[in-house]
Amino acid sequence: MTESNLTWYDGFLKKGMPYPIISLIIGVIIYIIFLFLGRMMGVEWYPEEKIGFMLMGILIAYQLSGIQYLLDRFKKIMLDICLLSNVDKDEFCIGVKNRFAGSMWYYALLALVILPFYLTDWISSDYTLKENYSLMEQFLPNYFEEPSSWILIYDIFWDLLGILALLLLGYILWIILNITWTLKRASLNFHSTSTNANVFSIHMRLRPIKSAIITIIFYYFICISLFILSYGLSGYLLEKITLVFLLLIGLIFFFVGYESLYDIVRRQAEFEIDQINLKSREYTQKLLAIDSNGNYDSRIQETNFISNMLDVLQKQRDSLMKANTKIYDVRSIVSIIGAFLLPILADFAKKNIIVLLESGDIANQGISVLNFLINKII
């Protein structure tokens, strides 16, 4: 599965250079285009506007590289599940791929992500529709106030980036939801691990999947944080509901993923206990079937052997009953809390960015140096 592609985008950025570098170059190009458009329009961008342009470039670059990263993690998780359990690898992977690439729910998710950010422009502060509000005013606000060709290009460029960021966010959500569905499906259809694994070693074999869930959670909440820093929340109810929806998806992914891993451990323990019970029943029947007549020594020897085996099986059963099937640990709890706080801190930083700029000379100097170097290039 790791050698095949889940979708057309899988491997799209893996051409020549590492995909994070390609994504970073795209982000820098986006920022340079904004500076170029400002020069052509004869506008001197304010520091907060330049930060907004940089954040938009960083957001797009982060999303582009992150999608490839998530697809790689997705395939690795599927491979780990196939190695862990006695499932048909080809059948399992084909089923996951068909759902991921062919489901119409993807388009419903895109609409759910994109529409709130555009519908809010049509709603006034008292939650009523704005009067005399046109599409040109929504999508070409600067051109609507001061028509010119370069301002038109600027508005179109900004709109395209906004739509692209939302489309990429929807695709990221789709990948995460499919990973969640895959883990849940694997736990529900799980019967036993492969023959060389048991409940005491399964935690080690699940560790890569646990680590993947944590890294995906951090990536996702960093992406949401960058999205908040780039767009901000204008205070409209739909945008706040959308933010809560996005945060809930991250929490659902974490808890459903970890609960699925817990179900796998629990089902393996139950499977091994059932096997022990079958063995115990066999030896108990043999013990009851021992003929009281016959050679005394052989009967004693057979009775002792069966009794010892029953004692061993009982100890194994007790050990499995006391086995640690917990998936959550301190690291995972601290990680999810830390990751969840990132978007909240980003929202706070966005609302206070002007104050931070006025009080922080280091930030202004850093921006000035960066602008000086880029202006030399263009």
- Count: domains in the chain: 1
Is 220 among the domain residues? yes
Is 314 among the domain residues? yes
pLDDT digits (tens, 9 = 90+) for 231-270: 765 555 666 777 788 888 889 999 988 888 888 888 777 7
pLDDT digits (tens, 9 = 90+) for 127-163: 555 666 666 666 787 777 788 889 889 889 998 998 9
Is 126 among the domain residues? yes
> Can you give the pLDDT at residue 195?
45
Q: How far apart are the first and last CA of the chain?
A: 44
Q: How many angstroms separate the Cα of 295 from the Cα of each of 223, 288, 290, 291, 371? A: 78, 16, 11, 10, 99
Q: 177 lies in which domain range?
A: 19-377
Question: How many Cβ atoms from other residues are within 10 Å of residue 373's Cβ?
Answer: 9
Is 2 among the domain residues? no
Q: How many angstroms separate the Cα of 79 from the Cα of each of 50, 67, 83, 140? A: 43, 18, 6, 47
5/75 Cα distance (integer angstroms): 9
Q: How many angstroms separate the Cα of 309 from the Cα of each of 43, 278, 295, 324, 362? A: 86, 13, 21, 24, 74
Is 369 among the domain residues? yes
Question: Locate tokens 């990221």: which residue?
Answer: 172
Question: How many Cβ atoms from other residues are within 10 Å of residue 63's Cβ?
Answer: 21
Using a 10 angstrom Cβ sphere, with 0-12 exposed, 13-18 middle and 19 or more buried, the burial of residue 5 is middle
Nearest alpha-carbon partner for 265 in 182, 183, 179, 181: 183
State mean pLDDT over 46-60.
86
Q: Which residue has the higher pLDDT, 359 or 250?
A: 250
Is 3 among the domain residues? no
Is 107 among the domain residues? yes
Is 211 among the domain residues? yes
State mean pLDDT over 289-309.
72
